[in-house]
């Protein structure tokens, strides 16, 4: 059944402009429709706030803020906002329409994705968020529902409805806005949000793309929130065996519960993502995930919600039906609710009962024996191992402290240049974050030396090809090349660079070069000369000569130079070429008959024919107005542009 037929807005025209054609999706705060802009005759998406919320000034303000924020981004991976307005009880945004589906649709249909597909989706998402973060905004509600995948394969981020300024630390005492499954711990615990909450949500989305499931699920929102606060996101390879550790490390970095450990914004996470991709083989990128079991998906945790702060206050996870402790049995001492081990079996019947005190000692001894054996097995299998803590983007000193606290040793530190990780902070570890490692083993830290800087080399006098090669050898890039005259630098050699020699710049910076055109040469004037004379004059000046294919009519005789380019007296470089255009003689025009005409009529007729006119009045024609003679008889031909003299009496 098509429920859009029951929607009162379908078929209506909002604000006298937008004709609503069909309902696309319904969210917690707004409904999205496919509509037509009747003024521009284009299909677009119309996001209309639920009328019940339109009376809430804060929601309307957020709605308008979304329009203004997204309009400022102008990024190819952000859904564009065209217009914002109101029509009665309806507050709306007119947005770019993307024909396709959401990432949620893809995950629901296919389950886990190949690593290549997951990264192909994640990278444009991070590019879009990176643009938002660098523009000063935080999305705050990243999830698969807000990732649109067009039929042409384009990936776009939508729904900046919860956007806030990066430098505005948001804190609410009453409620937390967001989607339960993707909230960062600091959003839950303190209600604060900066660019790192988007990084956390993207880590959850990546985990979901790689495994087909969310990392934290539970019967109630409170259980999910508790897990965000107290449980690390497990490595995806624990669910999909064979996934490379680079992807585990990427997820661990993005979803670190301590916000200080995460990449500081989406640009930094994008850099880590590209590094992870580069480390994978083609086989690893295209490895097919295991077939997911079909299961009903409850969308309750995927909706943007207003979550009461009472649910976000940290507290012990309640014992429920999914808690193994709930099925362990009930001893008054509480032992069965806290131990992983079952109580020892009762002693076999004895022919002679022990005194009460003896039975107690025996039971306690047996319990300690069982627990001791259990603890020994645990130590052999797990107790001597630990996981490498996430220390990415932390200072070297802080990273060493965290490793020591985890029972590990920090080995010799390696240093690498990085354009995205701040100087003195950790780029990576070996083994990576989350890796299983024996206690007291050594972890190598790779610490950033910041961006690599190099000095611009001295290039004056270098030929252009050699200068470009030198720049590449010095980890710089040749930039724009311009030319100018120089009296002391030979033609084709470098005069100077921009930035100038000795300046420190990041590796990979483009360096512009100014190349000499040699000493300037004044172009001689050769118009009216024969071709032979013109060629000789130009060659003597150190210039080359070429002759244009076509000839033109001019006042000069046939074969003489009618025009030259560059023009006379222009300055050019030695060896430059001057183009000569030869004359095919003047154009001959028949002279009209103007004898007997008035002076004004005669002049007008002759000028229209292409001649110049000269008046000869003499003493007798000072006050006359009639042409008595003309210097060229009517009907004869004369060069166009030549002068005809008329005698007036």
SS (H, E, C) 244-301: CHHHHHHHHHHCCCCHHHCCCCHHHHHHHHHHHHHHCCHHHHCCCCCCCCCCCCCHHH
Q: Nearest-CA neighbor of 27 among 162, 202, 216?
A: 162
Quick one: 205 exposed, middle or buried, by C-beta within 10 A (0-12, 13-18, 19+)? buried
Q: Which helix (H) or strand (E) holds 406?
A: none
Q: Which residues pair with 18 in a beta bridge?
A: 14, 37
Q: Tell me how far CA of residue 433 lies from CA of 275, 436, 515, 609, in angstroms.
A: 15, 9, 51, 91
Q: Nearest-CA neighbor of 46 among 17, 88, 3?
A: 17
Tell me the catalytic residues. Answer: 141
495-517 b/e (C-beta count within 10 Å ≥ 16 → b):
bbbebeeeeebeeebebebbbbb
Q: Nearest-CA neighbor of 27 among 84, 66, 1, 57?
A: 66
Q: How far is CA 92 from the centre of its chain?
A: 27
Q: In 476-570, which ranges are E strands? A: 477-484, 494-498, 504-506, 510-516, 520-522, 544-547, 561-565
What is the spatial distance between Cα 184 and Cα 227, in angstroms, rounded to a whole number? 11
What is the spatial distance between Cα 25 and Cα 4, in angstroms, rounded to a whole number? 10
390 close to 256: Cβ distance less than 8 angstroms: yes
Of how many residues is the chain composed?
649
Q: Which residues pair with 35 in a beta bridge?
A: 20, 44
DSSP-based three-state secondary structure for 540: helix
Cis preceding-peptide flag for 499 (omega within 30 of 0): yes
Q: Quote the tokens at residue 639.
A: 């060069």
132 φ, ψ (degrees, to nearest 5): -65, -45
Q: Which residues pair with 30 in a beta bridge?
A: 49
Q: Quote the tokens at residue 377.
A: 């097995």
Quick one: 528 exposed, middle or buried, by C-beta within 10 A (0-12, 13-18, 19+)? middle
Q: According to DSSP H, which parts of 497-649 are helical?
A: 531-540, 599-608
Q: What DSSP designation does 584 have?
A: -
Q: Which residues pair with 648 in a beta bridge?
A: 627
């Amino acid at each position: 059944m098509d429920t859009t037929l029951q929607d009162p807005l379908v078929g209506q025209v909002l604000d006298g402009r937008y004709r609503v054609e069909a309902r696309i999706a319904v969210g917690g705060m707004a409904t999205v429709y496919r509509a037509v802009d009747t003024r521009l005759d284009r299909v677009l998406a119309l996001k209309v706030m639920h009328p019940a919320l339109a009376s809430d000034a804060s929601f309307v303000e957020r709605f308008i803020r979304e329009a203004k924020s997204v309009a400022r981004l102008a990024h190819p991976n952000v859904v564009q906002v065209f217009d914002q307005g109101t029509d009665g009880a309806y507050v709306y945004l007119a947005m770019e329409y993307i024909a396709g589906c959401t990432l949620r649709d893809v995950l629901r249909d296919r389950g886990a994705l190949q690593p290549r597909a997951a990264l192909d989706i994640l990278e444009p998402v991070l590019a879009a968020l990176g643009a938002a973060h660098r523009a000063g905004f935080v999305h705050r509600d990243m999830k698969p529902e807000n990732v649109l995948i067009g039929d042409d394969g384009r990936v776009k981020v939508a729904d900046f409805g919860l956007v806030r300024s990066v430098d505005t630390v948001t804190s609410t005492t009453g409620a937390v806005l967001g989607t339960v499954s993707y909230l960062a711990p600091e959003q839950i615990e303190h209600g604060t949000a900066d660019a790192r909450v988007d990084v956390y949500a993207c880590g959850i989305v990546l985990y979901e793309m790689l495994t087909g499931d969310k990392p934290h699920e539970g019967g109630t929102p409170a259980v999910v929130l508790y897990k965000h606060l107290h449980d690390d996101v497990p490595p995806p390879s624990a669910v999909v065996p064979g996934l490379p550790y680079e992807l585990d490390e990427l997820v661990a970095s993005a979803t670190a519960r301590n916000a200080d450990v995460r990449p500081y914004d989406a640009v930094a996470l994008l850099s880590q993502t590209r590094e992870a991709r580069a480390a994978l083989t083609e086989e690893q990128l295209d490895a097919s995930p295991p077939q997911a079991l079909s299961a009903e998906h409850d969308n309750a945790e995927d909706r943007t919600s207003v979550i009461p702060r009472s649910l976000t206050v940290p507290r012990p996870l309640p014992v429920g039906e999914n808690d193994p402790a709930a099925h362990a049995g009930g001893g008054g001492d509480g032992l069965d609710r806290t131990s992983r081990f079952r109580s020892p079996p009762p002693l076999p019947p004895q022919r002679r009962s022990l005194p009460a005190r003896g039975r107690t000692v025996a039971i306690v001894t047996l319990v300690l024996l069982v627990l001791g054996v259990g603890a020994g097995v645990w130590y052999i299998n797990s107790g001597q191992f630990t996981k490498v803590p996430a220390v990415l983007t932390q200072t070297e000193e802080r990273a060493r402290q965290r490793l020591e606290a985890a029972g590990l040793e920090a080995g010799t530190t390696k240093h690498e240049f990085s354009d995205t990780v701040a100087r003195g902070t950790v780029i990576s570890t070996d083994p990576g974050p989350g890796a299983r490692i024996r206690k007291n083993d050594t972890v190598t830290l790779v610490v950033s030396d910041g961006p690599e800087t190099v000095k611009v080399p001295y290039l004056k006098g270098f030929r252009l090809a050699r200068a470009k090669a030198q720049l590449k050898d010095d980890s710089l890039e040749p930039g724009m090349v311009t030319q100018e005259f120089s009296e002391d630098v030979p033609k084709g050699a470098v005069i100077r660079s921009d930035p100038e020699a000795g300046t420190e710049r990041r590796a990979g910076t483009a360096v512009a070069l100014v190349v000499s055109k040699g000493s300037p040469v004044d172009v001689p004037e050769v118009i009216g000369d024969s071709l032979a004379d013109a060629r000789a004059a130009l060659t003597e000046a150190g210039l080359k000569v070429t002759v244009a294919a076509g000839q033109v009519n001019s006042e000069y005789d046939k074969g003489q130079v009618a025009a030259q380019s560059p023009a006379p007296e222009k300055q050019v470089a030695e060896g430059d070429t001057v183009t000569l255009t030869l004359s095919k003689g003047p154009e001959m025009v028949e002279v009209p008959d103007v004898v007997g005409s008035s002076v004004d009529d005669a002049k007008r007729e002759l000028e229209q024919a292409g001649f110049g006119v000269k008046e000869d009045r003499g003493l007798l024609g000072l006050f006359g107005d009639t042409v008595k003679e003309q210097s060229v008889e009517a009907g004869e031909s004369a060069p166009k542009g030549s002068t005809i003299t008329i005698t007036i009496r």
